[in-house]
Amino acid sequence: MSTSNSKPSITAIVAATQSNGIGLDGGLPWKLPGEMKYFARVTTGEEPSSDLDQQNIVIMGRKTWESIPSKFRPLKNRKNLIISNKGIDVKESINTKSFNSIESTFEFLSNSNTNLNSSNKIFLIGGSQLYKTFLITKPPLINRILLTRIISEFKCDSFLEDFKSHKSLKNNLPIWKKSNHLELENWLGFKIDEENEEKGVKYKYEMWTLNEESE
Ligand SMILES: NC(=O)c1ccc[n+]([C@@H]2O[C@H](COP(=O)([O-])OP(=O)(O)OC[C@H]3O[C@@H](n4cnc5c(N)ncnc54)[C@H](OP(=O)(O)O)[C@@H]3O)[C@@H](O)[C@H]2O)c1
């Protein structure tokens, strides 16, 4: 895929079981309010601005958009970019825009007022199809993954691409490297427990970045 010259720095954020399950029947297989709060806090940023140009961006596929209850969308204090070939039934506003391709989304990112070198963060928030495309493109279209690893198993019908098994063709090293918890906290800008439990469901917050040693 050819994208514009300035490649945006994009972080995928996803919660997945140990067998990479992420969804069931178009929604999430679990209800974990604490994990949802983490998602909202991270994607919104610590001091959400009323100035749209200062807000973080969330990119999602049409099915993920539709999975958000209508009273919660667009996700507040974030610019919502939705990717759909067939278009979506959404009232476009300054913080909700739809695109018919990843290329046109990237075009918008590089031409919009959002300064890609500023402190705005850009997140890919799902779902399965878009995570896969962004991960299997060479080089990947994302450079960081915030993964909530759900330790319990849940019945799922959509899955996260198994990025941990991706190896570089040149030197066969893993493309993704797990950061330590301090590196995650430093990137987030706040402290968070690494291991958590809600309603008997255990989960861990992880961060993965591109492995500089892989070519
Ligand atoms: N656990 C988590 O962290 C997490 C996060 C997000 C979502 N999910 C779950 O994931 C599931 C949804 O994932 P999904 O894979 O079914 O759907 P999705 O990736 O959210 O959306 C797929 C749709 O996006 C559009 N699309 C994808 N790639 C495109 C491209 N290159 N160009 C243009 N349009 C493109 C197409 O829309 P059109 O059909 O309109 O053309 C496609 O049908 C749900 O169960 C959801 O709850 C889980």
User: Could you give all domains of the chain from N- to C-terminal order, each with its CATH number?
Assistant: 10-210 (3.40.430.10)
Is the pLDDT confidence value at 130 over 70?
yes
Active site residue 195: no
Q: Where are the alpha helices (DSSP H) in the chain?
A: 33-44, 62-67, 102-111, 128-136, 181-188
Is the pLDDT confidence value at 116 over 80?
no
Mean pLDDT rounded to a whole number for the chain:
92
Is the pLDDT confidence value at 2 over 50?
no
Ligand 1 closest atom vs CA 27: 47
- Tens digit of each residue's pLDDT (9 = 90 or more) over 138-155: 999 999 999 999 999 999
Nearest to 198 by CA among 27, 20, 32: 32
The C-alpha atoms of residue 37 and residue 49 are separated, in whole angstroms, by 18
Ligand 1 centroid to residue 80 C-alpha, Å: 14
Residues contacting ligand 1 via CB (< 6 Å): 14-15, 22-23, 26-28, 60-64, 67, 83-86, 100-102, 125-130, 133, 158
Average pLDDT of the segment spanning 192-209: 98
Beta strands 78-83 and 56-61, pairing class: parallel
Active site residue 109: no
Give the list of residues 6+ apart from residue 76 with CB closer than 8 angstroms, or none. 44
Ligand 1 centroid to residue 126 C-alpha, Å: 6
Residue 118 binned pLDDT confidence (cut-offs 50, 70, 90):
low
- 72: phi then psi, degrees, rounded to nearest 5: -105, 0
Q: Which residue has the higher pLDDT, 113 or 203?
A: 203
Average pLDDT of the segment spanning 20-28: 98
Sign of the CA dihedral running 80, 86, 92, 94: positive
**Exposed/middle/buried for residue 128 (C-beta within 10 Å: 0-12, 13-18, 19+):** buried
